[in-house]
């Protein structure tokens, strides 16, 4: 069996990140960010518009087309206390698209800001949406860990929950930016190809891409495809335990179309991933395929990728075969897309199956994203981060980018 990373000490993945190195705002031109290139152990740098020059023609590049929703809602109590309700994931109905289409009622799992001031009773907010005056109420239900079940009700069947978020929600920018959301973030904190609403954080590696970079990639003969992983707030959850065994990974929802599975098979199960969310989705596909190889009758629940699954099952199925198993599953069920979830943790000891290169930003110290990068570059992450720190690279969500080719 392969090495199990449960006993990795997160303190070994620490580095000093001065506050001035955290990019509080993006550059005026997103594709003018710096690009660190790590290729087979060697580090160099370029500008992001040159990305196509560093990739082989004929390769397949996969993007995450999720769209960040305006997930923060503010209510003021009669006492004057301000309560923030931060929508994390839909509960009733639990499908994002259906939930956004709801009229009059929707239930979400939410984090509550200033919870101690919300003793009982519903919160109310008067608002005008699409020309209709409505009253939105939020009623608190059961507590689920650090989150709560919240029932939203409003008194107009012409207004959907998506309409309410669009008008009165606030875009949730990362907490480490230490600033309020500004109007400009509505544009700059979305990728230019974002389409499918559902994330509460942007897949930030994609923020560097512009239509001209995408066109240049296509002209280079690189195949561009999209999948969906809705990024949860758990992406910012720090690892509090000494060993990563004590860290529970958040669950994220993925959707991958039949055509992408076929495209991956055509490319011999090799892809360049844009962002850690695309990485997690592509690698999860392999493990879903392994589940189906071992149990063709697996239920929808059994296809969900658990946190430690890659380290606890024998993975001797070839990646192309694993993808063919998913295609067979979709065919048997007459499905055009695979909809499931993943809790996968990618850490040193993990063997990558599909991702051969990745575009990613620079991540927080002692984060699960840094573990993912370390696993990809065979532990050589310090070389990359030392270079970035000593060559004036900007860090985190609005920071610069890297292309990693192990």
With cut-offs at 50, 70 and 90, classify the pLDDT of residue 237.
confident
With cut-offs at 50, 70 and 90, classify the pLDDT of residue 128.
very high
How long a stretch of residues is the chain? Answer: 406
What phi-psi label fits residue 131: left (phi over 0), alpha (psi between -120 and 50 degrees) or beta?
A: left
Q: In the prediction, which pLDDT does 175 show?
A: 86
Dihedral of alpha carbons 325, 328, 330, 336, sign: positive
Give the residue among 232, 210, 184, 256 at the shortest CA–CA distance from 31.
Answer: 210
Q: How many CB atoms lie within 10 A of CB 140?
A: 20
Give the residue among 279, 298, 282, 286 at the shortest CA–CA distance from 322.
Answer: 286
With cut-offs at 50, 70 and 90, classify the pLDDT of residue 172.
very high
Render pLDDT for 178-235 as a digit per residue (tens, 0 to 9): 899 999 999 999 999 999 999 999 999 999 999 999 999 999 999 999 999 999 877 7
Q: In the prediction, which pLDDT does 40 show?
A: 95
Q: How many CB atoms lie within 10 A of CB 134?
A: 19
Mean pLDDT comparison of 63-67, 143-147, 229-233, highest-scoring range: 63-67
- Residues above pLDDT 70, as percent of the chain: 99
Quick one: tokens of 302?
Answer: 């059994």
Given a cut of 60, whether residue 358 has pLDDT beyond it is: yes
Q: In the prediction, which pLDDT does 190 show?
A: 97
Element (H or E) spanning 147, and its range? strand 147-154
Quick one: tokens of 295?
Answer: 């149990």
154-158, 175-179, 204-208: least confidently modelled range: 175-179
Render pLDDT for 372-406 as a digit per residue (tens, 0 to 9): 999 999 999 999 999 999 999 999 999 999 999 99
Q: In the prediction, which pLDDT does 289 show?
A: 98
Render pLDDT for 303-329 as a digit per residue (tens, 0 to 9): 999 999 999 988 799 999 999 999 999
Q: In the prediction, which pLDDT does 49 show?
A: 98
What average pLDDT does the segment 82-93 reach? Answer: 94
Element (H or E) spanning 278, and its range? helix 276-294
The model carries a pTM of 0.93
Q: In the prediction, which pLDDT does 1 show?
A: 42
Quick one: tokens of 31?
Answer: 């594709």
CATH topology of domain 5-67+187-404: QueA-like (3.40.1780)
With cut-offs at 50, 70 and 90, classify the pLDDT of residue 356.
very high
Quick one: tokens of 249?
Answer: 């990974």
In the predicted model, what is the mean pLDDT of the chain?
A: 94
With cut-offs at 50, 70 and 90, classify the pLDDT of residue 2.
low
Please give the Cα distance from 59 to 119 (Å, whole number): 56
């Amino acid at each position: 069996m392969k090495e199990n990373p449960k006993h990795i000490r997160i303190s070994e993945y620490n580095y000093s990140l001065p506050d001035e190195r955290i990019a509080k705002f993006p550059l005026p031109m997103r594709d003018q960010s710096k690009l660190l290139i790590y290729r087979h152990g060697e580090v160099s740098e370029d500008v992001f518009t040159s990305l196509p020059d560093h990739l082989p023609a004929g390769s397949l590049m996969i993007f995450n087309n999720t769209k960040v929703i305006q997930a923060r809602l503010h209510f003021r109590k009669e006492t004057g206390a301000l309560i923030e309700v931060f929508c994390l994931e839909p509960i009733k109905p639990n499908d994002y698209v259906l939930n956004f289409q709801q009229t009059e009622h929707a239930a979400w799992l939410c984090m509550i800001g200033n919870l101690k001031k919300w003793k009982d009773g519903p919160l109310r907010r008067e608002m005008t949406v699409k020309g209709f005056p409505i009253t939105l109420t939020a009623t608190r239900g059961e507590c689920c860990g650090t989150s709560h079940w919240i029932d939203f009700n409003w008194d107009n069947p012409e207004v959907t929950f998506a309409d309410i978020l669009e008008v009165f929600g606030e875009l949730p920018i990362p907490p480490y930016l230490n600033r309020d959301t500004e109007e400009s973030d509505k544009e700059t904190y979305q990728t230019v190809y974002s389409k499918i609403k559902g994330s509460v954080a942007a897949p930030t590696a994609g923020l560097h891409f512009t239509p001209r970079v995408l066109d240049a990639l296509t002209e280079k003969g690189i195949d561009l495809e999209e999948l969906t992983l809705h990024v949860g707030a758990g992406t910012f959850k720090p690892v509090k335990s000494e060993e990563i065994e004590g860290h529970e990974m958040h669950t994220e929802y993925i959707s991958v179309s039949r055509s992408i599975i076929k495209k991956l098979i055509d490319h011999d199960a090799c892809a360049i991933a844009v962002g850690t969310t695309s990485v997690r989705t592509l690698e999860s596909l392999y493990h879903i395929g392994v589940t189906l190889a071992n149990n063709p009758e697996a239920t929808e629940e059994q296809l969900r990728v658990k946190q430690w699954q890659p380290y606890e099952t024998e993975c001797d199925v070839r990646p192309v075969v694993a993808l063919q198993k998913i295609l067979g599953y979709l065919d048997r069920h007459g499905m055009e897309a695979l909809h499931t979830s993943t809790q996968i943790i990618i850490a040193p000891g993990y063997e990558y199956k599909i991702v051969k290169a990745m575009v990613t930003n620079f991540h927080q110290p002692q984060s699960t994203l840094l573990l993912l990068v370390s696993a990809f570059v065979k532990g050589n992450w310090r070389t990359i981060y030392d270079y970035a720190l000593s060559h004036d690279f900007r860090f985190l969500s609005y920071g610069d980018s890297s292309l990693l080719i192990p």
